[in-house]
Amino acid sequence: MSQPYYMKDVKKSTFALEWIPFLIVDVSINLCGCILVGIALEILFTREFIMRDYFYEEGFLFAIIVLSFLLSIRDYFKARKIYRIIKEKPFALIDDKKLVLCHGIDSFSWEHVKDVVVEGGRKVVITFTEEGEQKKKVNDLKWVTGKDDFIQSLKKACNERNISYKESEMTLSSWVGLSLRMMKRLLLENLPERKKEYHKCQKGEKVHEVP
């Protein structure tokens, strides 16, 4: 018998807490990127580095700052689209045949799952085999409603199938790595699939079916 869907509690405050800090970092990264591109072009066309002279010119600095903010605004709207999709699709599903995570993007047949590790009641690491190769997928249970129930259901499902299941504490380095990894996954990976789901939502089509 299938377990209930586990949704993410994505209110407006959730969006701010989960995305705004990353977007601040994104502004800094874009700013540094624009400066590095400017330096590279300067060296390429003049064969020498005189960019330091331009740093004191208001026009150059203004252009760099404006460009970095425009890139960051683009990333912000990407995040908003993904946020809307996440509101519509369940984060996780446990049934007799498979484990589904990350709003349907990660789907694992139980016969291929080899190991499950839950860190700090938040980070979930799934070790599985695919085409004879062993791989790992990491997911974040942050903001998942019924998280404790999900963890207990996951533990029970693993024990019933003799799959290794472990729980451990989350270290600071693991927390930082998880945050950066999930930002990369949501913003850079699987974007075409997420756009398709977003357009389905806009058309009023059902998107709760997990592949």
Distance (Å, whole) CA 165 – CA 168: 10
Tell me the CA end-to-end span of the chain in Å, nearest whole number: 17
Strands 133-140 and 123-130: antiparallel
Q: What is the pLDDT of residues 47-89, one digit of tens each?
A: 665 555 555 555 666 777 777 777 777 777 777 777 777 777 7
Kindly give the confidence (pLDDT) of every residue in the chain, 211 residues in length, as a single tens digit, with 9 standing for 90 and above: 345 677 777 666 666 666 676 677 777 777 777 777 777 766 666 666 555 555 555 566 677 777 777 777 777 777 777 777 777 778 888 988 899 888 878 889 999 999 999 999 999 999 999 888 999 999 999 878 888 999 999 999 999 999 999 999 999 999 888 888 877 776 665 544 545 544 444 444 433 333 3
Report the predicted TM-score, pTM, of the whole model to 2 decimal places.
0.63
Q: What are the angstrom distances between the C-alpha of 102 and each of 62, 86, 105, 141, 185?
A: 39, 9, 5, 9, 10
Q: Please, what are the domains in the chain? A: 12-88 (no CATH), 93-202 (2.30.29)
116 close to 166: Cβ distance less than 8 angstroms = yes
Distance (Å, whole) CA 52 – CA 74: 29
